[in-house]
Chain A
């Protein structure tokens, strides 16, 4: 029983990272109806930026905050520079844009910091959390930070003027323009937020999987699986979906004999296909996903 709780909690911990990635993906998807395939690479880049800041002697939390700010700015810049001009282009062109972004960011990360694996410190340490055997302090930290992030986002979107404008711009852009909202800037804001959230995810997972340019490839797929499970139409759904994927995958890894751990990506793949095929709205979504 304790093993089960242990595994579920561990699943929630990694699931919270997937939740962050899923959230980033859904934020951009809601804004522009496209999936940011480069989200993982952007998060990796952010983690490296944080690492670099720490190499220069800046302590963890200031580096963390600085990285979040830089990532926000980068997200806005990428939206304004690359995707705004593509707003009316075909789906193929947009997908090409995202792939180009993937390739460039991945490449620049590798060239700037090389491919040797680096250690990324955790501000939480890795000792037992509260002296329990259930999870370690970094895992607790992952859950905690994600929780704080979500709370902040919830308050921002639900209770501030800008948050309200953003929700309006994303759900009903034409009406939003008619009340004077600059939809273009709201989309840029969405990108900035998505980038920042991705950066947080990257910095939280790096201590666990070790920092290297290709570290987020698989994690992004889990993020997509979570987003799809959550229905691609609600941030809350994305978060729940991400956590579910984490728990599910951990349980399979523990209880399926032999290769459970190695099957993580194929399972995520199967999940994505099954959900898109049989329940396109996901578990919590409201929009009809089927597009013709």
Chain B
């Protein structure tokens, strides 16, 4: 039976433990996120947008693995589907980019749900295998020349960055940033809500002990596939946002390496700990930049070493560090 690091308290999963420190830091982070674009360059704004995009994708994986105990090495596939859905609809369907977001979510939900169905009987390594195959096959699927008229084949598609609505005097990058921020926060809140709801508790019961959960009357099939669908949908939204921000989609941008990155993000942030998604995302956005500038291909090794560091030294990732910091600070105050 899988033994994911336990998050037995849903409040622990959302990090809402008591502590002025926690609330203060959350407010500070929020303030920063809302205000900084006013002072930052377009490029930095764009980078933080991508940070939020990947944090959302990692969040989705957290719901799936930390929430329902299922593995996925295939999140890059859903990210790609979301991205391509948005790009294709905008470029070939003339659909408003905002509308592509819920459509991408819906498409990914259905595909995720359908993938989750045969995956029901699989657990542990077998599910990892199936999702690994999915991730590896996706670029080839995207290059299929049946679809080329829409997908642009190997070259991919170029889209244009939308302007701020209502003629607001902010740059497209800034507009996109706030859109992404709003959506990410909404998704985060919804996810936290989900995990503390009845559905979330059902999923976590499945994660902890499937047989016991089934004996208690939890509809395993429903909740597992639901988890897959929801996770895929959120990843799809993230993918779509990413596509809009980057203005470009191409098959080789969505390889298994992306799944590795998202997996790393989840593990570094702390499995099942939603706030960790941002920490994890920071790793996978900034580390490659630094690593690749030192040597091409280095980021893979750095990712690998980071994963090993987490599994051997800091098993609960950023959450463990946060807890340690909190304990240290509170210890000092409670003190002697």
> Residues on A close to B: CB < 8 A?
33-35, 37, 82, 85-86, 89-93, 95-97, 99-104, 106-111, 114-115, 213, 217-218, 220-221, 224-225, 228, 258-259, 262-266, 268-269, 272-274, 276-277, 280, 289-292
Question: What separation, in Å, do the CA atoms of A290 and B127 have in the docked complex?
Answer: 11
Chain B interface size, as a band, is: 35 or more
**Given the complex, which residues of A lie within 8 Å of B130, measured CB to CB?**
269, 272-273, 276
Q: In chain B, residues 136-179, which have Cβ atoms closer than 8 Å to a Cβ of chain A?
A: 136-137, 140-141, 143-146
Complex contact B311–A107 (CB within 8 A): no
Complex contact A273–B132 (CB within 8 A): no
Q: In chain B, residues 17-59, which have Cβ atoms closer than 8 Å to a Cβ of chain A?
A: none
**Number of residue pairs across A and B with beta carbons under 8 Å?**
160
**Given the complex, which residues of A lie within 8 Å of B126, measured CB to CB?**
276, 289, 291
Complex contact B65–A92 (CB within 8 A): yes
Q: Is B121 an interface residue (CB 8 A)?
A: yes
Most A CB contacts (10 A, CB to CB) among B1, B5, B295, B297 go to: B297
Complex contact A111–B122 (CB within 8 A): no
Q: Is B274 an interface residue (CB 8 A)?
A: no
Which of B118, B137, B300 contacts A103, CB < 8 Å?
Answer: B300
Complex contact A35–B307 (CB within 8 A): no
Which of A97, A110, A228, A266 contacts B129, CB < 8 Å?
Answer: A228
Question: What separation, in Å, do the CA atoms of A273 and B310 have in the docked complex?
Answer: 31
**Given the complex, which residues of B lie within 8 Å of A274, measured CB to CB?**
118
B312 closest partner in A (C-beta): A85
Q: Is B134 an interface residue (CB 8 A)?
A: yes
Complex contact B136–A86 (CB within 8 A): no
Which of A34, A37, A107, A218 contacts B298, CB < 8 Å?
Answer: A107
> Residues on B close to A: CB < 8 A?
1-5, 65, 71, 73, 118-119, 121-126, 128-130, 132-134, 136-137, 140-141, 143-146, 210-211, 255-256, 260, 263-264, 267, 271, 295-305, 307-308, 310-312, 315
Complex contact B125–A35 (CB within 8 A): yes
**Closest 10 CB pairs between A and B?**
A107-B300, A110-B297, A104-B304, A103-B304, A107-B301, A100-B307, A265-B137, A90-B3, A277-B118, A100-B304
Complex contact B124–A111 (CB within 8 A): no
**Given the complex, which residues of A lie within 8 Å of B4, measured CB to CB?**
90, 92
Which of B137, B145, B304 contacts A102, CB < 8 Å?
Answer: B304
